Amino acid sequence: MNPSIHITNRRTAEAVARTLRERNRAGAFLSIHGTDEETPDLSTPGGSSCYLCFDDVEDDTVPGCTPMSNAQATLAANFLEDLAASNPTTLIVHCSAGISRSAGVAAAIHDTLGWPVANARDNDVFRDGKFAPNMHCYRTMLRALGGNVTQEELDALWQAAVESADET
């Protein structure tokens, strides 16, 4: 059975990790923090965490900001492969706000590995107005997981995200 993905913000991920430590339980986290942020403590007894550091940008044209790299996506893909072997029930994917970078990464995991996104309407991050997936993160993570998408498909996904945001 595939683990369910929960997209959240940093504060909630840290609170979950704290609670798991207090209860001596394991947790699985894919942590994304910006280059101007400290790495959060998501350690849990027997748990697994993958820490990525990049900014919420689509490319490297924003001075002082770093987009997700292929190396970081590969690191996350390797983490997910190892994690799947341990049969976790839940994977928490977080970024600062739990809206863009984490949503893009979670959508790629869902689309390639089939893991459900528990807190997205119908498992569809792009059609759930509370998320605004970072398309660079989605595309980069998708490729690292062996998936592919055309520019037309990316445009359609982004349009769905824009339309769902307009509905809220």
pLDDT (tens, 9 = 90+) of the chain, 168 residues, equals 789 999 999 999 999 999 999 999 999 999 999 999 999 999 999 999 999 999 999 888 999 999 999 999 999 999 999 999 998 999 999 999 999 999 999 999 999 999 999 998 888 888 888 999 999 999 999 999 998 877 788 778 778 777 876 665
DSSP state of 96: S
For residues 51 and 63, give the distance between their C-alpha atoms in angstroms, rounded to a whole number. Answer: 23
**Among candidate residues 130, 74, 122, the one with its CA nearest the CA of residue 102:** 130
SS3 (DSSP) at 130: coil
**Torsion sign (Cα): 120, 124, 130, 133:** positive
Going by C-alpha positions, the residue among 101, 94, 97 that lies closest to residue 139 is 101
